[in-house]
């Protein structure tokens, strides 16, 4: 019986050692970092060709903070602030306003990369308190070059032009890279 328990403990320790060598994490230092800019042009009935987002639900009378508004988007993502620069990815997803007492949105989007530098995707999902100067959102997984990645996307509203156009600066820090 003691011999059997010793074998189970030894097996458990070997599995732990094997796993610790397979994946290593350093939560203080990202394994990949880069800065991207997401460009959003809202559809407003006269810009069909250029629009990259559209409101699909906009209930009226629910307060002053756009509560219930639901927007889908397919935005170009560039390496610099210029909207006309060649996109390195597309941000595809949705956001909705989910607070009645202040401006707050919840975001779910996938950055789809298909460039010479990166191929694959990663997904960002989290609350985005848009009135804050910077917001940290979770990166919860990916494919291709970003297989099973996790990390933080720090959003900063880089430019806002009324309700028609905004640009987000996204500081991407990945902490799990395979």
> What CATH number is attached to the domain comprising 68?
2.40.480.10
How many Å apart are CA 141 and CA 131, to the nearest integer? 26
In a domain, 20, yes or no: no
For residue 6, the model assigns a pLDDT of 56
For residue 15, the model assigns a pLDDT of 52
Count helices and strands in the chain by DSSP H and E runs: 1, 9
- CA-nearest of 88, 46, 90 to 72 is 90
The pLDDT tens digits of the residues spanning 32-46 come to 999 999 999 999 878
Q: Is the per-residue pLDDT at 23 higher than 70?
A: no
pTM for this predicted structure: 0.82
Min mean pLDDT across 8-17, 99-108, 153-162 is at 8-17
Phi, psi of 4 (to 5 degrees): -70, -40
Could you give the number of structural domains in the chain?
A: 1
CB contact at 8 A, 157 and 130: yes
Question: Where residue 60 falls among pLDDT bands split at 50, 70, 90?
Answer: confident
User: Which three-class secondary structure state does DSSP give residue 135?
Assistant: strand
How many Å apart are CA 118 and CA 130, to the nearest integer? 29
Contacts of 144 (CB under 8 A, 6+ apart): 113, 118, 119, 120, 121
State percent of the chain over pLDDT 70. Answer: 85
Higher pLDDT, 15 or 162: 162
Min mean pLDDT across 44-53, 75-84, 167-176 is at 44-53
How many residues are present in the chain? 178
Higher pLDDT, 18 or 66: 66
In a domain, 138, yes or no: yes
In a domain, 18, yes or no: no
How many Å apart are CA 177 and CA 157, to the nearest integer? 27
In a domain, 8, yes or no: no
The pLDDT tens digits of the residues spanning 102-154 come to 889 999 999 999 888 899 999 999 999 999 999 999 999 999 999 999 999 99
In a domain, 139, yes or no: yes
- The whole domain housing 79 covers 27-176
- In angstroms, the Cα distances linking 38 to 76, 83, 136, 152, 176 are 6, 9, 15, 16, 23
In a domain, 11, yes or no: no
In a domain, 151, yes or no: yes
Task: Return the structure tokens found at 84.
Answer: 């006309």
Please give the mean pLDDT across all residues of the chain: 87
In a domain, 21, yes or no: no
For residue 82, the model assigns a pLDDT of 96
Question: What is the Cβ-side half-sphere exposure of residue 100, based on CA atoms within 13 angstroms?
Answer: 5
CB neighbour class for 142 (10 Å; exposed up to 12, middle 13-18, buried from 19): buried
């Amino acid at each position: 019986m003691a011999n059997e328990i010793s074998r189970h403990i030894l097996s458990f320790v070997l599995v732990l050692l094997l796993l610790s060598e397979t994946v290593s994490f350093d939560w203080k230092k990202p394994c990949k970092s880069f800065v991207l800019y997401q460009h959003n042009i809202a559809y407003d009935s006269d810009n069909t060709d250029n629009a990259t987002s559209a409101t699909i639900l906009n209930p009226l009378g629910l307060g002053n903070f756009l509560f219930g508004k639901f927007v889908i988007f397919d935005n170009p993502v560039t390496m610099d602030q210029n909207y006309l620069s060649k996109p390195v990815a597309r941000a595809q997803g949705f956001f909705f306003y989910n607070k009645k007492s202040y401006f707050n949105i919840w975001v779910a989007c996938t950055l789809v990369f298909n460039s010479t530098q990166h191929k694959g995707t990663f997904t960002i999902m989290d609350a985005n308190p848009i009135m804050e100067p910077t917001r940290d959102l979770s990166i919860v997984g990916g494919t291709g070059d970003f297989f099973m990645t996790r990390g933080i996307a720090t959003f900063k509203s880089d430019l806002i032009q009324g309700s028609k156009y905004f640009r987000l600066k996204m500081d991407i820090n990945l902490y799990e890279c395979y």
